[in-house]
Amino acid sequence: MRAIFIADAHLASPEALNFRLLLRFLGELEGKLDTLYIVGDLFDFWLGFPSQPFTHYDPVLDALDRLVRRGCTLVYYEGNHDFHIGDVFSQRLHTIIHPEPSIETVQGKNLYICHGDQINREDRGYLLLRFLLRTGVVAAAVRHCPAAWGEKIRRVLQKQSQAGYSAKTSRWDYRQILLDFADTVQKKGCDGLVAGHFHLAMHKNAPETAFTILSLGDWMGQFTYGEMIDGELRLMTYRADEP
């Protein structure tokens, strides 16, 4: 059995390298994959408006559709750039959608899977924003307001994200935050933690245990992802020469 975990591609433009390489990677997986776990922020911005205004993402949706048609199960953990992801995923792609972290049994291992944006409990400003954006009011607005509002929301979120990222990385030690959080996950009886969000590529086995920490890095410059075959979690790097 084979599962792939990917996070933080932040896809924006079909002309961008990460966009092109992801399409190639997804094509190579067709018929060779049991489950694809998207662990948040696949897109630089996505809200599930019924009209699907983000047509520049159609090649990615088509690639995911081909995977599903070849027998792959698609599981999506919403991130801080993609949430209320809507009918395209739930109906067309038959996706299992997780708005929140969950403990899943994958190949006999109990994995705590999360995007990771809730791990740093000291980032109170972001946690409040996250709570507000995920209310039922916002979910209803996505379904009933003009899709043009999506661009306005995207600009606000992008500005907030860009302004805060460098300050946050200098203020907090994300690696240590992940390690500390992994301790709490292990005490829940889990066999591993799989997380994105921090753009930190890390694979670590806890001392004297079989517990595995897998931080997925990103698909922006690192092109890292997780792979699980027969119960073994690994951190992988996609290598592809541009034509």
Work out the angle at residue 62's Cα, subtended by the Cα atoms of residues 58 and 64, and round it to the nearest 5 degrees. 115
Bigger pLDDT: 219 or 130? 219
26-40, 105-119, 133-147, 229-243: the lowest-pLDDT one = 133-147
**What does pTM read for this prediction?**
0.90
Collapsed DSSP state (helix, strand, coil) of residue 174: helix
| Domains of the chain with bracketed CATH | 2-237 (3.60.21.10)
Least-confidence region, from 51-55, 88-92, 99-103 = 51-55
> What pLDDT shows up at residue 239?
84
Give strand pairing partners of 235.
226
Distance CA 135, CA 144 (A): 15
The closest alpha carbon to 117, from 107, 103, 127, belongs to: 127
> Taking the CB of residue 67, how many other CB atoms lie within 10 A of it?
22
At residue 109 the predicted structure's pLDDT band, cuts being 50, 70 and 90, is very high
SS3 171: helix
Q: Residue 217: which region, alpha, beta or left (left: phi > 0; alpha: psi -120 to 50)?
A: left
End-to-end CA distance of the chain: 31
| Rounded distance between C-alpha atoms, residue 24 and residue 10, angstroms | 16
| Rounded Cα gap, residues 235 and 203, in angstroms | 6
pLDDT tens-place string over residues 133-171:
788 777 777 776 766 666 666 666 666 665 555 556 667
pLDDT band for position 127 (cuts 50, 70, 90): confident
